[in-house]
Amino acid sequence: MLKVINVVGARPNFMKIAPIVAAMRERADEFAPLIVHTGQHYDAAMSDAFFADLNLPQPDVYLKVGSGSHAAQTAAIMQRFEPIVLAEKPDWVLVVGDVNSTLACALVAAKLHIKVAHVEAGLRSRDRTMPEEINRVLTDQLADLLLTPSSDADANLRAEGIPDERIRFVGNVMIDALFAQLERAKVSTVREDLGLAGKAYAVLTLHRPSNVDERATFKRILDALAEISRNLTLVFPVHPRTRARITEFGFAERVESLENLHLIEPLGYLDFLCLYSGAALVLTDSGGLQEETTALGIPCLTLRENTERPVTVSMGTNQIVGTNTDKIIYAARRVLDAPRRAVPSHAKLPPLWDGHAADRILDALVSDEKSMASASA
Ligand code: UD1
C-alpha cells in the first residue's frame, strides 16, 4: 500500500489532482491518498468552487498560507508542510504543475528523503522572468519521478541531464478531468445567464504578472480588446490579481466604457468549461487553457511571447501572438473572418491526451516502488 500526499495550492492544480485522487480511490488496495491544500488560492471562486465541480474530496489538511510575496508565500508553505510530512511519513509526495506550492512542497519532501513525483514535468518556456519557469526547473531537479505530458518535455529533461530512469511519458492528466466533466458541464446555464445563447462570442483570461503587472503591456492588450470587441462580445472572467491591477492602473473607466467587453467574476470549472467550449475564439495567457482549447478544437490566441506547451501550437489550435496591439487584432480577425471555424488542418489530439493519464501515473508510482524494492533486495 502506497501512502501518497497529493498537494494542491492554486487554481490550476485542482483539475490535475482530481483525476489522480479519483484513480487512487478506485485502486484502494494499492493506494492511500491524502490531500493537502496549501491555501495559496483561498477565495470561494478560486478554490472552493472546484472541489464540488471536480468531485474532489475535501482536503485532509489545509495549511491556510494565503497571499504574500514569492519568498513569504513559499516559506510559509514550507514551514507548514514540513510537520505534516513528518507526522504522516508518506511513501510519496505528489506535486503538480508549476505554482509556488509545487516547488515549496517538493523541496520539503526531498530534504526529508521522501520521494517526490512531479506531474506535468519537463515543460519549459525558457523564460526565467516567469516565476513558474523557476518553479518548473527546480521542481524537476528535486523530483524522483518526472511524469511528462508530451514528448517535448522528455527532451527538455534529458537536455538538462536528468536520467531516463526518472522520466515517464504519461500524457496530460488535465485532459482526464476535461473528458470526465464534459457531459456534466452541459447542464451549466452560464451561456444563457450571460445572454450569449445563440451568439458568437470570445472568451478572455489574463493573469500572468508579465501582462497584468506591467502597465504598458496591459494597455497594449486593452487597446486590442477595444478593437476586437467592436464586432464581437468578449467575456472576461477576471482573476483577482488582474482585478487589482485594473483599479491600480486607473483602467476601470476605460474597461467599463467598452460595451461588448463583459467583466465577470472567476467561474467554477464546469461553468468555465461550458463557456469556452462554445466560444468562437479564446484569448489567454493561461497555460492550462492553451491545452484545453487544443483538446476541444477551439481556436486559441496566446497573449505571450512564448509557451512552455509547444505541442498546442505544433499539433493543436494555439497561436502565440504576443502582446503587440496590431498583431493581436490581426490574428483575431484571421480566425473570425475565416469561412468556417479556423482550426488549423494539422490540429489533432496530441499523443496520450486520451483521458487515461491518471492510471498511467499510478502505474508509474507502483513500478518505481517495485524497481526500488528489487534494487535493494
Ligand atoms: C498563481 C500561479 C500561476 C497560476 C495561477 C492561476 C505561482 C507563482 N503562480 O498565480 O502559475 O497560473 O496561480 O490562477 O504560483 N488572490 C486572491 N484570491 C485568491 C488567490 C489570489 O484574491 O484566492 C490574489 C491575491 O491578492 C494575490 C494575487 O491574487 O496576491 C496573486 O495570487 P498568487 O497566488 O500570488 O499568484 P497568481 O497570480 O494567482
Distance, in Å, from the CA atom of 151 to the CA atom of 351, rounded to the nearest integer, reads: 9
Question: Considering all CA atoms of the chain, what is the largest pairwise distance in Å, rounded to the nearest integer?
Answer: 70
CA of 41 from ligand 1 middle (Å) equals: 6
Across 273-299, average pLDDT: 97
Set of cell numbers at residue 284: 489567454
Distance, in Å, from the CA atom of 42 to the CA atom of 47, rounded to the nearest integer, reads: 6
Is 207 a catalytic site residue? yes
CA distances from 184 to 123, 192, 308 (A): 30, 16, 30
Set of cell numbers at residue 41: 488560492
pLDDT above 90: percentage of residues in the chain: 94
pLDDT score recorded for residue 376? 73
Across 247-263, average pLDDT: 97
Question: What are the start-end ranges of the E strands in the chain?
Answer: 2-8, 31-37, 61-62, 92-96, 115-119, 145-148, 167-169, 201-205, 233-237, 261-264, 281-284, 300-302, 318-320
Distance, in Å, from the CA atom of 205 to the CA atom of 81, rounded to the nearest integer, reads: 31
87 has pLDDT over 80? yes
User: Quick one: which of 354, 372, 294, 319 has its CA closest to 91?
Assistant: 372
Across 15-30, average pLDDT: 98
User: Quick one: which of 101, 100, 105, 145 has its CA closest to 122?
Assistant: 145
Distance, in Å, from the CA atom of 21 to the CA atom of 58, rounded to the nearest integer, reads: 11
pLDDT digits (tens, 9 = 90+) for 66-86: 999 999 999 999 999 999 999
User: Quick one: which of 234, 242, 253, 225 has its CA closest to 323?
Assistant: 225
pLDDT score recorded for residue 342? 60
Set of cell numbers at residue 232: 464581437
Atom 7 (ligand 1) nearest CA: 99
Residues 6+ positions from 363 with CB-CB distance below 8 Å: none
Ligand 1 pocket residues where CB is under 6 Å: 10-12, 40-43, 46-47, 67, 98-100, 131-132, 207, 239-241
Residues 6+ positions from 58 with CB-CB distance below 8 Å: 35, 51
Report the atom number in ligand 1 closest to the C-alpha of 208: 38
345 has pLDDT over 90? no
Helix 269-277 vs helix 173-185: crossing angle, to nearest 10: 80
Candidate of 8, 41, 48, 98 to mutate for ligand 1, largest count of ligand atoms within 8 Å of Cβ: 41
pLDDT digits (tens, 9 = 90+) for 112-165: 999 999 999 999 999 999 999 999 999 999 999 999 999 999 999 999 999 999
User: DSSP code of 251?
Assistant: -
Helix 11-26 vs helix 173-185: crossing angle, to nearest 10: 90
Atom 35 (ligand 1) nearest CA: 67
Task: Single out the catalytic residue among 113, 207, 239, 346.
Answer: 207
Angle, alpha carbons 21-109-46 (nearest 5°)? 50
Mean pLDDT taken over the chain: 96
Report the atom number in ligand 1 closest to the C-alpha of 101: 15
pLDDT score recorded for residue 348? 85
pLDDT score recorded for residue 340? 63
- Residue 65 near residue 80 (C-beta atoms within 8 A): yes
Candidate of 70, 99, 133, 307 to mutate for ligand 1, largest count of ligand atoms within 8 Å of Cβ: 99
